[in-house]
Structure 1
Amino acid sequence: MIRSAIAVAATATAMPLLMATPLAAQQVTPPPVTPTVAPASPMAAPMLAPPVITVPPLSDAQATLLDKLLNSDIVAQGLKSAATASTTAPTKNELVRAALDHARAVHAGRLSEADFQRDWGLRPPAYDPTPAFADAVRQDRIAAWFASLPPPYAGYDGLRKGLQNYRSIAAAGGWSPLASGPDFTLGATGPRVIALRKRLAAEDKDVSTSGDKFDAGLLDAVRRAQRRYGLNPSGIVSTQTLAALNVSATDRVRQIMANMERWRWLPQDLPRDRIQVNIAAAVLTVFDGDTPVQSMRAVTGRPGDETPMLSSTIHSIVINPPWNVPTSIATKELWPKEKANPGYFKRNGFKVIGGTRLQQQAGDQSALGRFKFDFANDYSVYLHDTPSRAKFASFSRLSSHGCVRLEKPAELANLLLKGDPSWTPEMVAAAVAKGDTVRAALVKPVSVYLLYWTAFASGNGQMNFRADPYDWDGILASKVEARTARQTIAAR
């Protein structure tokens, strides 16, 4: 399978490398003891039962190869932390069941429907591995079939290689945590500098471990590390930098495992025109096929008001949108402000509707700014402008109630409306200036993906990490391993 990458630096856009190659997709439950599979699906049950597909009997050589592939690939694909030896050799029927289960996990995600949290709104397409597996057995091409299973993205390949590297680091003992203390940078000397060199060298082969002086070379290494972690590359080793460096190698392994599972939730063929938001890094990128054509900073949901993972389609842009305030925000935040400072509503353009509902009028004060990008979803979130611009200058931009605020909404609006003679950039600017609320329907709706990437490889293979603000990585990695353990038992 040929895998090409989107030509975009991960440290610049905080989006992983992508490429999609179409593959067939249906899904079935594991086969019974005899190698005949009756299709069904926990993720999307078919309305009509398709024909039963019989898997040809495995030869002894095929059984040996399949057992070897399963034992290595289940770890390589991030489905569990480490290999475990079985005390009994599996039967051929058990190998068939295990192979089909493994194929579904690698190709379309390890989780079952019950494992998903509500705000993990992405769901993998249904996938039936049985036809391709049966064909691989008949043609004696089991190894090639195995190689075709993983998601066809360069970003997934990068994580798989990174997983192997960080597993090796963890197996060798990982790294020692750095001691807390005052901030230090260029010119510092002593034991903390020696420890810093050793810690950085564990992930950066260009770092020298000799010397106790914080010199220019070490300054560059600290800045490289800060960029890998999405921090301000100041070269100053402060609290945030220490916290990132002190995440253990074992936890980095689990972080990579969680992100590999999220890749498996994506379709095999992504839409050519699409918008992707990395929630954890708070960055939006617009793609034309494999080419990024626009990127900007964003503000995403703070912990407690998480921005959900989802996919949808932007169908229209509201210019000068009013803000219909969600009841939870009105009750917890705005009504107390009015009570404490009477006249707050009037000064900030709010009006009370029906006695309790609040609406903020369109204009410079509106929390939605001048643009709102609408797409259907079950979470009442959208992309929008904001009059509060200061947060975009920060490296930590998780501050919204769940919607995605945009640094350059006018530029995005003009890009999405490009080619529509009814909405030239001049017409958009005139509509904004007039102040009336109008809706501009997109002639060509655009797919949008809200994704949670906290680990990804850059073009040179270097792993990049972001903080896990919602604590989703550990939860997901545990669910993946637990589901793998249950399915392994079920296959025997």
Structure 2
Amino acid sequence: MNRPDLIRFPLLALAGLAAMPLSAQTPPPAVAPTMAPPTVQPIPAPPPPVPIPALSPAQEAWANGWLQTGAAQGLMARQRASAPLKGEALVNALLDRAKALGTGRVDSADFLEVWALRPAAIDPRPALAKAVSEDKLPAWASTLTPPWAGYETLRKGLAKYEAIRDRGGWPTLTASSAPDVVRARIALEDPAVTREEKLVDVIQRAQRRYGLEPTGQLGARTLEALNVGVDDRIAAIMANMERWRWMPRSLPVNRVQVNIAAAVLTVFEGDQPVTSMRAVTGSPTNQTPMLSSSIHSIVVNPPWNVPMSIANRELFPKGRAALARQGYKIIKTPEGGERIVQPAGPNSALGRLKFDFNNPFAVYLHDTPSRGKFSSYDRLASHGCIRLEKPVALAERMVAADPSLNGQIQTLIDAGKTQRVSLPSQVAVYLLYWTAFAGNNGTVSFRADPYGWDKLLAQKIEASSRRADPTAIASNSIASKD
């Protein structure tokens, strides 16, 4: 449960050997004159890049037209008409666009540390060379975007919001706005709105799309969501499309996915969602990282070894007597310091179950004795780990294939013993940050951007496009706005 923003990775430095005075050096051992010097194996040169045939005039025309679709893929906020490219400049632009669509516009070197989901590297040259030689450029281009429905529905949603922007956006609402104005505003995003529908139902549907409590009233939070500017909504869609580009082209059919922004965990079996539950994810000051890993074991009745960041900030200031009354133990460390441990039990911050997976942030899924947050619509409140609404049910699914463990999780908990249970097979886990997702009709649901990652990522996309893409517009973009 470490705070990700306090994690510091070790830095490896290579130190050169300093010159020493000859008098201080130990003489080298005598070497037999017959000993041959070591053979130095030359490092093989990398293979030459795959040559790409010259494009025909028809191929050049198609390629230049295709390069003008970058804004439609969320690679820039707006598109400008550029002079047709030819020869090497055109080939380089095609290769750059292929990499941007395949692994993201933003280079992973420019990621935040907590954006630990890294796309696999690709070399688009061989496929492009083959497409040119076989005159199949459109078919080649169709394979570049992520194969996920989540990406394609966002692409359709992006076109819808760009059209709204180009028509002038939407009006700002107030608590006293006329019902017809409110209905018309919501209808810009929701095609299901009709004049006959009760306004309370229209507002409730909008509130559900924004992840708000569906009261049917124009409260402060509902007005805030409705008054987010269309440019910011486009930025959110762009950011989420970029995150889809970071995802692998195939996912394990059995996996656990956590939407950090929505604080929801979903279990997939056979590549289909089979169950979901509410979660509590990291607060804005204790961000849950994006990452992928595999759950390898479950700790039953886990103690909590309190991270020093939390101990120093929140627990040690309470004083030893108060910590003792609350059941904490202060343990001496081998280095002469102290750390805090909360023993296993019903009041442990980790509850009765902890789901372990390897990651550099020391985050994990776990139970909690504090259940009140699960009934709230504001569930970003942890120190970075993910608290689960139904941990026992999740554990039972994960061990069901082991006859000795199937149906036994609660029995193990009731025994009160701390023990680690290895899973019959590891379960892939993805911690993701989805703040925009769309249905097949292009209606986009949004969540708040609690970590401020959407606008930052949209700015990085825009800046990267301006540096690398000759078809990107250099001004009047999201990146140039405050």
Shorter-chain TM-score category? Answer: 0.7 to 0.9
Residue 43 of structure 2 is aligned to residue 61 of structure 1: no
CA distance in 2, matches of 1:191, 1:356: 59
The reply to whether residue 145 of structure 1 matches residue 140 of structure 2 is: yes
| Alignment of structure 1 residues 440-455 onto 2, 5 Å | 440-455=421-436
Residue type matched to 2:425 in 1?
A: K
* 1:253 alignment counterpart: 234
Q: Please state how far the C-alpha of 1:197 moved relative to its aligned partner.
A: 1.8
SS of the equivalent of 1:54 reads coil
Deviation at 1:271, TM superposition (A): 0.8
Report the TM-score, using the length of structure 1 for normalisation: 0.84
In the alignment, does 2:190 pair up with 1:194? no
Normalising by structure 2, report the TM-score. 0.85
1:183-242 deviations in Å (ceiling 9; x for gaps): xxxxxxx74323312211211234356xxxxx9621111011011111111111101111
Q: Does 1:177 align with 2:157?
A: no
Q: Give runs of aligned pairs for residues 338-377 of structure 1, distance below 5 A.
A: 339=319, 343-354=321-332, 355-377=337-359
CA shift, 1:430, in A, is 1.9
Larger mean Cα displacement after TM superposition, 459-468 or 91-100 = 459-468
- For each residue in 1:293-329, what CA deviation from the matched residue of structure 2 results, as whole angstroms up to 9, or x when unmatched? 2210000000010000000000000000000001111
- Residue in structure 2 matched with residue 52 of structure 1 by the alignment: 49
Q: Which residue of 2 aligns with 1:118?
A: 113
The alignment partner of 1:359 has SS state of strand
Corresponding residue for 2:24? none
**Larger-gyration structure (1/2):** 2
Q: Distance in 2 between matches of 1:391 and 1:161?
A: 35
Q: Give the aligned partner of residue 407 of structure 1.
A: 389
Equivalent pairs, count: 425
Of 360, 367, 376, the residue aligned with 1:378 is 360
- Does the 8 Å contact 2:173/2:182 carry over to 1? yes
| Alignment-mate amino acid for residue 260 of structure 2 | I
Q: Does 1:278 align with 2:264?
A: no
Per-residue Cα deviation, 1:48-82 (whole angstroms, up to 9, x for no partner): 8345311011111111110010012x111100011
After the TM superposition, which of the residue ranges 107-116 and 240-249 deviates more from structure 2?
A: 107-116
Work out the CA distance in 2 between the residues paired with 1:223 and 1:402: 31
Question: Does the CA contact (< 8 Å) of 1:207 and 1:218 recur in 2?
Answer: no
Q: How big is each residue's C-alpha offset from its partner over 1:226-261, in whole Å with a ceiling of 9 and x where there is no partner?
A: 111111111111011111100111111110000000
* Residue 348 (structure 1) shift: 2.2
Task: Determine the C-alpha separation between the residues in 2 that align with 1:227 and 1:490.
Answer: 38
CA distance in 1, matches of 2:45, 2:75: 31
Aligned AA (1:193)? P
Q: Which amino acid aligns with 2:463?
A: A
Offset from partner CA, 1:133-177 (integer Å, 9 cap, x none):
111101111111111110000110000000000000011001011
Pairs within 5 Å for 1:282-431? 282-337=263-318, 339=319, 343-354=321-332, 355-425=337-407, 427-431=408-412
Match for residue 128 of structure 1 among 113, 123, 127: 123
Residue type at the aligned position of 1:345: L
Answering whether residue 439 of structure 2 is matched by residue 458 of structure 1, we say: yes
- Distance (Å, rounded) in 1 between the aligned partners of 2:217 and 2:145: 40
The C-alpha deviation readout for 1:412-445, integer Å capped at 9, x for no partner, is 00000012122122x3222211211100001110
Alignment partner of 1:204 is 2:204: no
Query: What SS does the aligned partner of 2:393 have?
Result: helix
Q: Tell me, what secondary structure is at the counterpart of 1:264?
A: helix
The answer on whether the counterparts of 1:229 and 1:244 sit within 8 Å (CA) in structure 2 is yes
Q: Structure 1 CA distance, aligned partners of 2:68 and 2:296?
A: 46
Q: 1:70 aligns with which of 48, 67, 70?
A: 67
Matched-pair identity in %:
53
